[in-house]
Chain A
Amino acid sequence: DAGITQSPRHKVTETGTPVTLRCHQTENHRYMYWYRQDPGHGLRLIHYSYGVKDTDKGEVSDGYSVSRSKTEDFLLTLESATSSQTSVYFCAIRTSGDTGELFFGEGSRLTVL
């Protein structure tokens, strides 16, 4: 168990409201990632972080921002949620080196009405 927790695990919100998802790790790993998963699209990278205050965009970053003010927490924010952001969001960490497997959290299911 790589010690990742995501919160909330489930959330229903309305269009136009802000939403923040939290990913917390207990092992001080450098790399953290946010993916979204949708039917027919697999897992797509939203943003990732390679250290405190160091983040970069993935392939589907529009409409999302992230912050990493401390090693253990990586926050994903939807400033103004839209129905197209209804999805399951997964956080992942890389536990060693610059390449290698990612350990995933259990996911956060977000529904935007």
Chain B
Amino acid sequence: GESVGLHLPTLSVQEGDNSIINCAYSNSASDYFIWYKQESGKGPQFIIDIRSNMDKRQGQRVTVLLNKTVKHLSLQIAATQPGDSAVYFCAENKEAGTALIFGKGTTLSVSS
């Protein structure tokens, strides 16, 4: 699989590889985290979320890991497909009732 350091704006992988996209969040009091996928010309689309009382959550082909000690969030995509090519954003919710605060995004490119 392919992994990236923190905040890299782009990630290129081969079809079938595992992808890991990393994100650092800013507020240790944030209690909710979410990953979005945005395809060209469209609005962001929900992928998976996790609350601060968990350190791992799995969905279909995706896993989110939360490390509160270092305020780090990662999205793992198994068996990456060309349709996974998009920009991926992490977001945090700092307090109830307020808006999500987004990271700058990572562009994932999948080649066949």
Contacts and interface: CB of A to CB of B under 8 A. Distances in A.
A50 B95 CA distance: 14
Interface residues of B, number: 23
Contacts, number: 50
Interface string A22-59: 00000000010101000011111100101000000010
A78 B100 CA distance: 23
B99 interface: yes
Interface in A70-113: 90, 92, 98-107
A99 B31 contact: yes
Contact of A43 (B42, B44, B97): B44
A101 B96 contact: no
B75 interface: no
Interface in B82-102: 89, 91, 93, 96-102
Interface of A: 31, 33, 35, 40-45, 48, 50, 58, 90, 92, 98-107
Given A35-B102, A45-B99, 14 more contacts: A42-B102, A42-B103, A42-B104, A43-B102, A44-B102, A50-B97, A90-B43, A92-B43, A99-B93, A99-B96, A101-B34, A102-B100, A107-B42, A107-B43
Interface of B: 31-32, 34, 41-46, 49, 89, 91, 93, 96-105
